Amino acid sequence: MSKVAYGIFVVAFVIHCATAKGLPSFLKLCKRKDPNLHNCIIENVELLRPKLKQGVPELFIPPLDPLVIPEATLNSGAQFKATFKDIQMYNTDNFDLKSFDVDLDKHHINVKILFPLLRIKSIYNINGRLLVLNLDGKGPADGNYTNVEASLALKGTPFHKNNKEYVSWEKEKIDINIGKINLLFERLFGDNKELNERTNKVINENIDTIIGELQPVIQQVVSDFVFNLVNRIFAKYALSELFL
């Protein structure tokens, strides 16, 4: 799930970087005091959309189809731990920016994004008890995620450096809702094909309960990942460099 959240960060990154100095000529400069600032930012997101599949090196945006993440871990105490490596996330460039509200004077941003369809492939290592299942296996994992909606809230604290105003962002809120998930874990029980199939069936039949149990862990991983990345760009650029 933290892979999904990286897609959120890309949009947030585009939103904040879209007006920095030295940007590519295809982007539109936005004014901080523009009453329709959110429209200007959304327009820049749409201008960038055709380039997101291959990535935008000028803005440090990696290729988004697939988006590659080295590793992510879900750890729910001593009962359950799952590590995913070589994560490849497909269709992250295909998103619908549902809403975007910004108040730069109060340093507050709210973003809501919908991903109609995401496919995530990885190499998993799972150990622990999940529902009635005792899992201890590793191998390829594949998953389809339909209608993934993510809401992201940022709360900033201004500070000054070299006579310029910067903003340090903190986690305020992050919510993830998923319409439907279908997962496939290969080799959960080695070469036992029948047991592997039955276990995957149980996982998918109880997917809502599983996601519910892991939701606090998922959101913690997501929020740490997203907000750390957003803070990088705002530590480098002053507000006057990001917005005219």
Would you kindly state where each structural domain of the chain is located, as residue ranges?
Answer: 2-242
**What does the pLDDT look like over 163-187, one tens digit per residue?**
988 888 888 888 888 888 899 999 9
Q: Which CATH architecture has domain 2-242?
A: Super Roll (3.15)
Instruction: Kindly report the backbone phi and psi dihedral angles of residue 224, in degrees, each rounded to the nearest multiple of 5, phi listed first.
Output: -60, -45
Task: Decide: 19 and 244 in contact? Cβ < 8 Å.
Answer: yes
Residue 169 tokens read as: 């962002």
Task: Decide: 184 and 200 in contact? Cβ < 8 Å.
Answer: yes
Percent of the chain residues topping a pLDDT of 70? 78
Taking residue 177's Cβ as centre, other Cβ atoms within 10 Å add up to 11
Give the integer Cα–Cα distance in Å for 64 and 3.
11
Give the integer Cα–Cα distance in Å for 230 and 204.
34
Residue 10 tokens read as: 């890309």
**What does the pLDDT look like over 95-151, one tens digit per residue?**
888 888 888 888 898 888 888 998 989 999 999 887 778 888 899 999 998 998 888
Q: Which of 97, 176, 82 is nearest to 137 (CA)?
A: 82
